[in-house]
Amino acid sequence: MAKVIVYPPTSMILSDLVSRMGHKALVVPEAVRNLVTESKIQSPPLNMTPEEPKKGLRYAAVDVPSGVRGRMSLIGPIIEESEAAIIVEDPGWLTGCSGCSRTNELVRLLIRTKGIPVLDLSYPTNDDEARVFVQKIRSFLEGLN
Amino acid sequence: MLVTKYVITSPESNILPSDIAMKIYGSKHDVTVKETCMGVTINGEESVIDEVVKEIRSLDPAGIFIKDRGFPPGDPRRCRGRRGGGARPGFYMIESECKILPMISRALAAEGDVPSLPEKKRPLPPGRLEEIVKEGLS
Amino acid sequence: MIRIAQLSCGAEYSGIQREIERAAETVGATLVYPEVSLEDILNVESSFGVSVSSGDLNMAMARAVRIVQNPDLADAVIVMTCFRCAEAAIIRSEIRKYIHENSKIPVLSYSFTERTTAETLLTRMEALVTTVKYRGLLAREKQTGLTAGIDSGSTTTKAVVMRDNQVIGTGWNPTTEVLQSAEDALTAALKMSGVAREELQAIGVTGYGRFLVGKHINAKLIQEEITVNSKGAVFLADAQKGPATVIDIGGMDNKAISVQDGIPGGFTMGGICAGASGRFLELTAKRLGVDITELGKLALKGNYQNVAMNSYCIVFGTQSLVNNLAMGRKPEDVAMAACHSVAEQVYEQQLQEVEVKEPVIMVGGTSLIEGLPKAMEELLQIKVTVPKYAQYIGAVGAALLVSGLLED
């Protein structure tokens, strides 16, 4: 079982396909869960404090906007943990944890420069594309075993 | 550790969120269930949730999808009713991906060879474009 | 409860959402997030005019469109994005303009870092809420009765006494011990007006020390300086109807306020670096060996182009000041260059954030340093008005506004 980071890191479809095909999908909600359920700090909604952007300095310099560094404090550790990646081209409707394009660019860059196997895809627009989409993910994940 | 997951049904699935809820209520598992417009959210111990997910998937293997959620169900910190309205940002991503789910479901259920896709469209070579312009002007 | 719509990108992830909420709670407001659909977000290119690659900014634009379509959704708007994000800076400014031009809802824009605290946001949020809550009071154009106003500023404390729409006494002194400085300024104003303290019908207080002073002297009005100063400015410049822009370069921070019919519609309050403040001019005067009241006249004789000086940082500014004098530059050129440098910082950092519409009114003690309004005129290519009593603007605004409470 490989640890697979998916991009967008909040994708339901990708994390579901990775899990149902027997691998571990690394996703942002797990990082959010730790913050909102484990942390004793009360800083709703996400319990993020100015400490998170500071943790993000591990991935981006201080002149990078605080929102990018804060998001990186959630996504960065997941990238470090990952053993493989599936990247789907930005579909133009990413919001929330994936709502900042600068962060997303940095995330893709860090994944690609890590040297792990990467599968590049686009979201399907018809049935034939969907079959190829699922098949490519299946073969990629089988190849990791 | 307590975990929360979304159980989302493809819009074309015959399984309703209430069917999933009933299935869980009828089981012996200690799990909290909350129905939503796109499915249900379930909350419980990680090992129990893993079991429940397997059972739920069996209702419609190609039509039910699972996603992790950071916040527990109905958490006031994320609930729009308690936080000045407006959907939480991640909602739009789920909504967007839900629109693709029927295709993914059919692809998961399909058997046989995967179709070959037509080559992606490329820009017209400049020479050919020039010819067309000339034809159009003549 | 005042509803402030928060249109933002990055606030939660910068760890400052709690601070925004705390500031809102303190001023008795609640934050709201107008409902938009996925289609609204995907269609911002046609509804707003552009879509960008960051989804959260598209969502902010979609919410702005929703508010303009349905102004009942919010009483005020704050547009907030991460400092140093170019994509967000463009959209933040455009959202502010869009709301300002297409609705009557007051709007505040601000770029934050993870260091932004509720305290930083408080004065801005207070002003925003005031413009909504006390619209009637702010629409007041005449001072009535016998009232006093005190402006407890970071550098100087000012007081005025007003009777029947006229300033009849003024007093000022450098701010040292906050309460004593206020007492002294008020005593001086009373003495000049020949009025006994007991005769005053009410006192209004503004400025940094407003809470402390207000409590001590039992003020009837304790109000932040953005609304008070804009009111004082349009009153003194006789620009109560129609648009106006108020620029107040203070000792510690600067305000640029766009006013419509005497009510602030949008404003910025800056002061990250002292190179853009009155402090720098004070330092320049000291270094040139002239009194601060003489610096402006000296500057008018100079040419800023003979001296290279442009810094938002008081340390670097002072460095180039010293270097230029060492190179034998004329004091008058240096004086004008210092005025130009301050004006340029305000122009570059703050006036881009508000609609600059005529008349442009410069107020506060620094407006009396003649070189400064002149430098601002050159930059804006617009005539700048400095009304009489410009240095007492906050005190006049407070005396005027508090008279409105007498009839209630």
Residues C151 and C119 both lie in one domain: no
In a domain, C9, yes or no: yes
Domain A3-144 has CATH 3.40.50: yes
Q: Tell me if chain A has a CB within 8 Å of the CB of C87.
A: yes
A38 C-beta neighbours (distance < 10 Å), count: 9
| Nearest residue on chain B to A125, alpha-carbon basis | B100
| Nearest residue on chain C to B80, alpha-carbon basis | C33
Number of domains in chain C: 2
Q: Tell me if chain C has a CB within 8 Å of the CB of B112.
A: no
pLDDT of res. C160 = 97
Q: Tell me if chain A has a CB within 8 Å of the CB of C112.
A: yes
pLDDT band per the 50, 70, 90 thresholds, residue C362: very high
| Nearest residue on chain B to C36, alpha-carbon basis | B86
Last-in-domain residue among C107, C133, C159: C133
In a domain, B136, yes or no: no
pLDDT of res. C27 = 92
What is the mean predicted confidence (pLDDT) over C159-173?
Answer: 96
Residues C32 and C95 both lie in one domain: yes
In a domain, B133, yes or no: no
Q: Tell me if chain C has a CB within 8 Å of the CB of B85.
A: yes
Please, how many CA atoms are within 13 Å of residue C209, restricted to the half-sphere of its CB?
23
pLDDT band per the 50, 70, 90 thresholds, residue B137: very high
Mean pLDDT of chain C: 91
Q: Is the pLDDT of residue A53 over 80?
A: yes
Q: pLDDT higher for B112 or A3? A: A3
Q: Is the pLDDT of residue B117 over 80?
A: yes
Residues C125 and C163 both lie in one domain: no
Instruction: Please report residues of B whose CB lies closer than 8 A to that of A123.
Output: 100
In a domain, B83, yes or no: yes
In a domain, B89, yes or no: yes
Give the domain range for residue B6.
Answer: 2-109
Contact (Cβ atoms closer than 8 angstroms) between residue A59 and residue A74: no
In a domain, B86, yes or no: yes
pLDDT band per the 50, 70, 90 thresholds, residue B59: very high
For the ranges A20-29, C325-334, C347-356, the lowest mean pLDDT is seen at C347-356
Give the domain range for residue C34.
Answer: 2-133
A56-68 residues labelled b (16+ CB within 10 A) or e (exposed): beebbeeebbbbb
pLDDT band per the 50, 70, 90 thresholds, residue A145: confident
Contact (Cβ atoms closer than 8 angstroms) between residue C42 and residue C21: no
pLDDT of res. A103 = 97
Q: How far is A117 from chain B (nearest CA, A)?
A: 23
Say if strands A3-7 and A24-26 run parallel, antiparallel, or are unpaired: parallel
Residues C127 and C8 both lie in one domain: yes
Q: Which amino acid does the sequence have at B31?
A: V
pLDDT band per the 50, 70, 90 thresholds, residue C239: very high
Number of domains in chain B: 1
Q: Tell me if chain B has a CB within 8 Å of the CB of A30.
A: yes
Contact (Cβ atoms closer than 8 angstroms) between residue B91 and residue B67: no
Q: How far is C54 from chain A (nearest CA, A)?
A: 4
Last-in-domain residue among C78, C104, C133: C133
Read out DSSP for A17-86?
Answer: HHHHTT-EEE-HHHHHHIIIII-----TTTT--THHHHHGGGTS-TTS-HHHHHHHHHHHHHHHH-SEEE
| pLDDT digit string, tens, across residues C125-156 | 988 998 888 888 888 889 999 999 999 998 89
| pLDDT digit string, tens, across residues C246-294 | 999 887 778 899 888 888 877 888 765 666 788 888 888 998 999 989 9
C window 113-172, beta carbon within 8 A of A: 113-115
Instruction: Please report residues of C whose CB lies closer than 8 A to that of B83.
Output: 31, 33
Q: Tell me if chain C has a CB within 8 Å of the CB of B87.
A: yes
C window 59-118, beta carbon within 8 A of B: 59, 63
Q: How far is A16 from chain C (nearest CA, A)?
A: 22
Q: Is the pLDDT of residue C310 over 80?
A: no
Domain map (residue ranges) of chain A: 3-144
Of B85, B95, B96, the CB nearest to C34: B85
Residues C116 and C164 both lie in one domain: no
What are the distances in angstroms from CA A17 to CA A24, A107, C228? 10, 21, 60
Q: Tell me if chain C has a CB within 8 Å of the CB of B84.
A: yes
pLDDT band per the 50, 70, 90 thresholds, residue A65: very high
Q: Is the pLDDT of residue C408 over 70?
A: no
Residues C160 and C129 both lie in one domain: no
pTM confidence score? 0.85
Q: How far is C273 from chain B (nearest CA, A)?
A: 35
pLDDT of res. C271 = 60
Q: Tell me if chain C has a CB within 8 Å of the CB of B86.
A: yes
What is the mean predicted confidence (pLDDT) over B131-138?
Answer: 92
In a domain, C287, yes or no: no
Best of C114, C115, C116, C120 to substitute, by most chain A Cβ atoms within 10 angstroms, is C114
Contact (Cβ atoms closer than 8 angstroms) between residue C132 and residue C76: yes
In a domain, B91, yes or no: yes
Q: Is the pLDDT of residue A8 over 90?
A: yes
Whole-angstrom Cα distance, residue C354 to residue A35? 38
Is A16–B75 a contact, with Cβ atoms under 8 angstroms apart?
no
Q: Which residue in A51, A79, B44 sits closest to C18, CA to CA?
A: A51
Q: Is the pLDDT of residue B85 over 90?
A: no
Whether cis (ω within 30° of 0) applies to the bond prior to A45 is: yes
What is the mean predicted confidence (pLDDT) over C327-356?
Answer: 87
In a domain, C57, yes or no: yes
Is C15–A44 a contact, with Cβ atoms under 8 angstroms apart?
no
For the ranges A36-45, A107-116, C54-63, C107-116, the lowest mean pLDDT is seen at A36-45
What is the mean predicted confidence (pLDDT) over A27-42?
Answer: 83
pLDDT of res. C253 = 77
CATH number at residue B18: 3.30.70
In a domain, B52, yes or no: yes
| pLDDT digit string, tens, across residues B2-56 | 999 999 999 999 999 999 999 999 888 999 999 887 889 999 999 999 999 999 9
Chain A residues with CB within 8 Å of chain C CB: 42-46, 48-54, 63-71, 74, 90, 92-102
CATH number at residue C207: 3.30.420.40
What is the mean predicted confidence (pLDDT) over C16-33?
Answer: 94
Whole-angstrom Cα distance, residue C281 to residue C314? 10
pLDDT of res. C275 = 67
